[in-house]
């Protein structure tokens, strides 16, 4: 057995160019599959990281109508039976199992009336936030200062921006101390916040766009005590709850929604209830989407494996013909059929396994190049590499079978007569 393998390597080495050309189909097929698998794995890890890891483990619980349509204050009146969430309830939410902190805020996801120097300058979201909002969401003051208790108590017209809002309203300017008009009320910018762990969302699908749209066009923050001046009293609040770990997010979100829903006095027909945005679920959906696309790519790459296998069969048939005399001689000096069969099967399997191995290395290389060029990350999957090499071996055995049987069944007399 080992001698067969050794002899096969020798044979491959003796016909370097031919062996390489034969392996090419396998190499290309395996390399593309490994590259695709690495990219899928990298993308999946990136999606998870962006949605969950960098998000400070925050679950948002918001009022929904029906299954999961957020109740939109832009177009709808204040709903009946949805009370303001008290500070007491907020403390209860923050003390839920697996929760770290909770923040109440009101939000308009699209603002038209934000004006700077006479121009509508911004179309991101506007949020009236409490004192817990920035720590919960992992924001840190980056420029200027945060909201003080005095700002809340004295109804100061002060605003804070996140970085993308600061960039779109004040390109190239220092935003601190500038006055912006929100719904005709002047607000002084006192600070800019930034994510403590910086991350760049990578948007390539519509779903991802909607996931990131809130963050992407930025947000302007005012103390929640100032909200009635801009919008209405008693608008339904949203709750951001920071979970202790990613695994707690789903449970904390569900429990928080239940706790708030107990306090609702809405009628059955209104279909109003609080529910959590299950970010884990979102991540999985995005991953599935990416997987589905890439699965198709894998099928396409498999075709080149098929072509490679046929190439191996072809060359093995040529080899059997070329080595007819050798086969005849081996049979004459006492090699049984099964031995000849195994010899050729081993040769085919060694050839394709070697091709698979080279393919894996080439695929890892390709994945690295793709990641350099497109900036999408890759992650090498060791099991995938192992499966790829084993699979190429199986291809060798499968496509080597026919030539090997042909060799084993050669009549030694005929074979010895051939020159």
Partner 1 sequence: MVLELRDICKDYMRGKLVVPVLKDINLNVSEGEYIAIMGPSGSGKTTLMNLIGCLDRPTSGKRILKGEDLDGISDDRMADIRNRQIGFVFQNADLLPGLTALDNVALPLVYRGVKKKERRTRAAEMLQRVGLGERMEFKPNQLSGGQCQRVAIARAMVGNPSLLLADEPTGALDTQSGQQVLELFHNLNADGVTIIMITHAPEVACCAQKTYLIRDGRIQIGETV
Q: Which residues bind partner 1 (CB under 8 A)?
A: 3, 7, 10-11, 14, 325-326, 329-339, 412-413, 416
- Return d(Cα 53, Cα 410) in angstroms, integer: 64
Looking at the Cβ atoms of 4 and 65, the one nearer to partner 1 is 4
Smallest distance from partner 1 to CB 417, Å: 9
Smallest distance from partner 1 to CB 329, Å: 5
Residue with tokens 């945005």, as numbered in its chain: 277
Smallest distance from partner 1 to CB 409, Å: 10
Looking at the Cβ atoms of 220 and 320, the one nearer to partner 1 is 320
Please give the helix or strand (H or E) that residue 40 lies within, else none: helix 16-48
Looking at the Cβ atoms of 9 and 152, the one nearer to partner 1 is 9
Smallest distance from partner 1 to CB 363, Å: 32
Coil, helix or strand at residue 179? strand
Smallest distance from partner 1 to CB 408, Å: 10
CA separation (Å) from 101 to 47, 95, 198, 406? 25, 7, 21, 74
Looking at the Cβ atoms of 165 and 404, the one nearer to partner 1 is 404
Residue 268, both tokens: 């059955």
Looking at the Cβ atoms of 384 and 416, the one nearer to partner 1 is 416
- Return d(Cα 136, Cα 240) in angstroms, integer: 7
Beta strands in 20-163 (DSSP E): 58-65, 69-70, 99-108, 114-116, 119-120, 125-129, 139-144, 158-162
With a CB cutoff of 8 Å and minimum separation 6, the contacts of 266 are 79, 80, 81, 82, 272, 273
Looking at the Cβ atoms of 10 and 267, the one nearer to partner 1 is 10
Smallest distance from partner 1 to CB 404, Å: 16
* Closest by Cα among 109, 145, 152 to 129: 152
Please give the helix or strand (H or E) that residue 362 lies within, else none: helix 337-374
Cα 388 to its chain centre, rounded Å, is 23
Looking at the Cβ atoms of 119 and 338, the one nearer to partner 1 is 338
Smallest distance from partner 1 to CB 335, Å: 5
* Closest by Cα among 244, 302, 248, 301 to 278: 248
């Amino acid at each position: 057995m080992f001698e067969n393998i050794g002899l096969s390597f020798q044979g491959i080495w003796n016909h370097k160019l031919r062996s390489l050309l034969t392996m090419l189909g396998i190499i290309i097929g395996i390399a593309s599959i490994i590259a695709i698998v690495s990219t899928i794995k990298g993308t999946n890890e990136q999606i998870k990281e962006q949605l969950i890891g960098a998000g400070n483990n925050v679950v948002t619980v918001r009022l929904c109508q029906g299954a999961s349509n957020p109740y939109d204050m832009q177009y709808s009146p204040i709903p009946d039976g949805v009370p303001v969430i008290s500070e007491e309830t907020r403390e209860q939410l923050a003390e839920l199992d697996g929760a770290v902190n909770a923040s109440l805020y009101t939000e308009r996801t699209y603002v038209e009336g934000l004006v700077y120097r006479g121009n509508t300058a911004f179309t991101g979201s506007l949020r009236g936030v409490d004192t817990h909002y920035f720590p919960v969401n992992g924001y840190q003051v980056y420029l200027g200062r945060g909201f003080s208790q005095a700002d809340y108590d004295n109804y100061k017209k002060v605003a804070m921006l996140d970085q993308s809002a600061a960039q779109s309203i004040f390109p190239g300017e220092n935003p601190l101390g500038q006055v912006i008009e929100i719904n005709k009320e002047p607000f002084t910018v006192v600070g800019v916040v930034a994510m403590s762990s910086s991350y760049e969302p990578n948007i390539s699908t519509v779903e991802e766009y909607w996931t990131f749209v809130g963050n992407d066009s930025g947000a302007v923050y005012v103390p929640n005590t100032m909200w009635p001046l801009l919008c209405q009293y008693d608008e339904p609040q949203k709750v951001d709850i920071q979970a202790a770990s990613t695994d707690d997010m789903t449970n904390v979100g569900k429990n928080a929604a239940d706790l708030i829903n107990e306090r609702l006095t809405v009628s059955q027909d209104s279909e109003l209830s609080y529910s959590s945005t299950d970010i884990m679920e979102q991540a999985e959906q995005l991953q599935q989407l990416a997987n589905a696309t890439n699965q198709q790519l894998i099928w396409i790459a498999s075709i080149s494996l098929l072509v490679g296998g046929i190439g191996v069969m072809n060359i093995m048939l040529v080899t059997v013909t070329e080595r007819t005399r050798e086969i005849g001689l081996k049979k004459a000096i006492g090699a049984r059929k099964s031995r000849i069969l195994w010899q050729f099967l081993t040769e085919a399997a060694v050839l394709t396994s070697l091709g698979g191995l080279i393919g894996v290395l080439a695929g890892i290389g390709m994945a690295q190049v793709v990641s350099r060029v497109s900036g999408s990350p890759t992650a090498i999957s060791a099991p995938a590499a192992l499966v790829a090499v084993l699979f190429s071996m199986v291809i060798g055995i499968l496509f080597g079978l026919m030539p090997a049987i042909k060799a084993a069944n050669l009549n030694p007399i005929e074979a010895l007569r051939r020159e």
